[in-house]
Amino acid sequence: MAGEQVKGFEPGKIYAVEFFSTTCGHCREAAPLVAELVNVFGEDVVFFGVTDEPLEKVKAWVASPENAEKIVFPVVCDPDKEGNRAFQYGTFKVSTPRIFIVKDGVLQWYGHPNGAQATLDGLLEGTWDPGTVAGEFIVESCMERARDHMNKMRQEMERTGEWDRLYALLDSMKAAIPERASYFELQAFATLIGPDNKPEKGYAMARDIVTRYESDIASLRTVARTILNSPWVQVRDLPLAHAVAVRADTLGQGKDSRAAEILALSWFSQGDRDKALAEINRAIELEQDPKLKARYEASKQKYATDPPGPVPHINAAKDAEHVDHDQPLAAPADSAPAPSDPATAAPHAPAAAVPAAPVPAASPASPGQQ
C-alpha cells in the first residue's frame, strides 16, 4: 500500500512488524514512538506495518495528505488476516499497536512499541537472547487463553447460576499456571462476593488471600478495589477494604499512586470527604501517567461535589497504558476490561514485608520459537 514491498525475511536481517489499525486511538498515540524507533534503527532494521482492515479503507487512509506525511514505513493491507494467523493468534491475543521483532526466522520479542528498544539494541549489539523472555511470554499466552475460556464460562454461569463449575475451572487453571495463582484466586473471591452473592465465604477467602499475599501490592489493591468498586458486590465490607487499602499504601511506602487512589475511594465510601480529597490529591501528585492523572482528577471532582458514600463504577485504572490486575473483578464477560499486553504487564514480584495494618477478623507462540 505504501513504501517498498517486503517480499520475505532474509537471513541476518532484523524485522519489526507493527500491527495497527487506522482507527485505533492507542495506535495514534504510539505513532510518534514508532516514528522515533524508525528514525533510530531504520538503517539496521526493516520496519513495516500490517492492518487487517478492508483495502479501500486503507487506500483512502494512505492517500490522505494528513497521513501520507506521517507514514514512516511500508504499509501492508491484510484483510485475510494472514499476518494475524502467523503472529498474533499464537499468543491467544490480537491487539494493536503491537510489534513483533524477527531475526533469522526466530521471533525475538513482541509487545507494545514502548518496549521494543531494548530488544533492538540487544540484537544490534549481539547481546540479545530471546530465551530470557520466552518463559514469561509463554505464561502470558497461557493466561490469554485462560481468560478467554474463563469469560466464556462466566457468561454461561450468568444464565445457569452453576458457579461451582467456574470455581472448578479456576482451580484447574491455578494448578496449570501456578505463576499466576493469585489472579485465579482473586477471580474466585470476586465471584463469591459478586454475582454468586456468598459474602461470608467470599470475605473469608479475601482474608486468606491478604494473609498469603501480604507482600504483593497488586493483589492487595485488587482486593480493596473489588470490595469498594465492583458494581456486582451486594454486601460491601468497608472496614476490611479500608484495612487492606492501608496495608497496600504502607507496602508502597506512601509512594504508590494507585494505592493512594484506592485509599481515597475507601475514605469516600466511608463518608469522609476531607480524607478522600487529601488522598486523591496525593495520588494526583504521585501519578506520572497522563491518562491515570486525568482520571484521578475526575475522581477528585466527584469527591468534592457528590454525597460521600460507596461509589461503585469508579475505575481509575481501566484505560491506563500499564494496567495490572487491581481492578474490580468478576465482571460479566462482555464488560470485562481487556488485559494488558505481555510487554507492559510485568509480573508482580513480592516486595519485602513491612508492618501492616491489621485486617478485621470479621465483617503459546513465544520468543525463541520459529
In a domain, 255, yes or no: yes
Same domain for 269 and 141, yes or no, is yes
Average pLDDT over residues 221-232: 94
Residue 42 has pLDDT above 60, yes or no: yes
Here the cell at position 29 is 498515540
CATH number at residue 72: 3.40.30.10
CATH number at residue 148: 1.25.40.10
Q: How far apart are the C-alpha atoms of 367 and 92, rounded to whole Å?
A: 14
Query: Tell me: the pLDDT tens digits for 176-212?
Result: 999 999 999 999 999 999 999 999 999 999 999 999 9
Domain end residue (candidates: 263, 283, 305): 305
Domain end residue (candidates: 75, 107, 128): 128
In a domain, 108, yes or no: yes
Same domain for 123 and 149, yes or no, is no
Cβ(342)–Cβ(115) under 8 Å? no
Query: Tell me: the pLDDT tens digits for 52-64?
Result: 999 999 888 888 8
Identify the pLDDT of residue 326.
52
Identify the pLDDT of residue 322.
30
Q: How far apart are the C-alpha atoms of 233 and 62, rounded to whole Å?
A: 48
How far lies 177's CA from each of 49, 168, 306, in Å?
Answer: 33, 14, 43
Same domain for 160 and 118, yes or no, is no
In a domain, 251, yes or no: yes
Identify the pLDDT of residue 64.
85
Closest CA to 18 of 39, 34, 41: 34
DSSP code of residue 2 = B
Q: How far apart are the C-alpha atoms of 248 and 257, rounded to whole Å?
A: 11
The residue with greater pLDDT, 65 or 162, is 162
In a domain, 342, yes or no: no
Same domain for 154 and 53, yes or no, is no
Same domain for 164 and 18, yes or no, is no
Instruction: For the chain, count helices (H), then strands (E).
Output: 14, 5
> Residue 76, SS3?
strand
DSSP string for residues in 12-26: T-EEEEEE--TT-HH
Average pLDDT over residues 49-77: 86
Same domain for 284 and 140, yes or no, is yes
Same domain for 252 and 211, yes or no, is yes
Cβ atoms within 10 Å of 304's Cβ, excluding its own: 11
Cross-strand bridge partners of residue 46: 15
Same domain for 76 and 221, yes or no, is no
Same domain for 227 and 94, yes or no, is no
Same domain for 111 and 221, yes or no, is no
In a 13 Å sphere around the CA of 265, the CA atoms on its Cβ side amount to 34
Average pLDDT over residues 123-147: 93
Percent of the chain with pLDDT over 90: 69
What residue has cell string 513504501?
Answer: 3
Query: Tell me: the pLDDT tens digits for 341-364?
Result: 333 232 332 222 233 334 444 434
Domain count, the chain: 2
In a domain, 241, yes or no: yes
Q: How far apart are the C-alpha atoms of 331 and 233, rounded to whole Å?
A: 10
DSSP code of residue 93 = -
Domain end residue (candidates: 77, 98, 128): 128
Cβ(292)–Cβ(257) under 8 Å? yes
In a domain, 156, yes or no: yes
User: Could you list the residue range(s) of the whole structural domain that residue 263 is in?
Assistant: 134-305
In a domain, 348, yes or no: no
Q: How far apart are the C-alpha atoms of 50 and 156, rounded to whole Å?
A: 35
Same domain for 49 and 69, yes or no, is yes
The predicted model scores a pTM of: 0.76
Same domain for 197 and 88, yes or no, is no
In a domain, 171, yes or no: yes
Closest CA to 357 of 210, 256, 206: 210
